[in-house]
Amino acid sequence: MDHTDHVTLLRGGVPAPGGAWADLGSGTGAFTLALADLLGPSGAIYSVDKDPGALAIQQREMRRSFPSTLAHYLAADFTRPLSLPPLDGVVMANSLHFHRAKEPIVQLVRRYLKSDGRLILVEYDTDHGNHWVPYPLSFETWRLLVWNCGLANTQLLATVPSRFLGRIYSALSLN
């Protein structure tokens, strides 16, 4: 996948430029950069990852590609409470599939969202993992999980083929 694919996967869930968003489990920032592209200079991004080295790589690329975007980098575990402002949206791209117990994480993330906040998941569309993607969840499994967590109006946004596990999808759920 490239930057265009990343933007495509997020585009339908980001209603307009601006706002405060978080990318949880952001790694080196592929989806953080896509989010910066969609939010523009009036947006603020809280990029969270346990790996400070990945965040440093991301910060350099953000300064190069989107120097006007306000970005905050937090070296932290998103499965534990974070100090974040009320958010317009959260992106979780290829990060939730590392965790078996997903419901407590989604409940925690939901508390960061404003009452009309948006949660975008990017994930492999399967319920059967492997060594590198241990606990993926199909769109249907995601839809049921977020409904149980109190999120609503879950919709499939986009899909892209993947040579690993078939395809990747993005889904939007509303708080």
Q: Which letter does DSSP use for residue 164 in this model? A: T
Q: If pLDDT is split at 50, 70 and 90, which confidence band does 128 have?
A: confident
Q: If pLDDT is split at 50, 70 and 90, which confidence band does 91 have?
A: very high
- DSSP assignment of 35-70 equals HHHHHGGGEEEEEEES-HHHHHHHHHHHHHH-TTSE
- DSSP assignment of 51-118 equals -HHHHHHHHHHHHHH-TTSEEEEEES-TTS------EEEEEEES-GGG-S--HHHHHHHHHHEEEEEE
Q: Which CATH superfamily is domain 3-161 in?
A: Vaccinia Virus protein VP39 (3.40.50.150)
* pLDDT single digits (tens) 60-89: 999 999 999 999 999 999 999 999 999 999
The residue assigned the tokens 């059967």 is 128
Q: Please state, in angstroms and rounded to a whole number, the distance separating the CA atoms of residues 110 and 119.
A: 8
**Whole-prediction pTM value?**
0.95
Mean pLDDT of the chain, nearest integer: 95
Sign of CA dihedral 88, 24, 37, 171: negative
* pLDDT single digits (tens) 102-112: 999 999 999 99
Q: What angle do CA 141, 112, 147 make, to 5 degrees?
A: 25
* pLDDT single digits (tens) 13-51: 999 999 999 999 999 999 999 999 999 999 999 999 999
pLDDT above 90 coverage of the chain, percent: 86
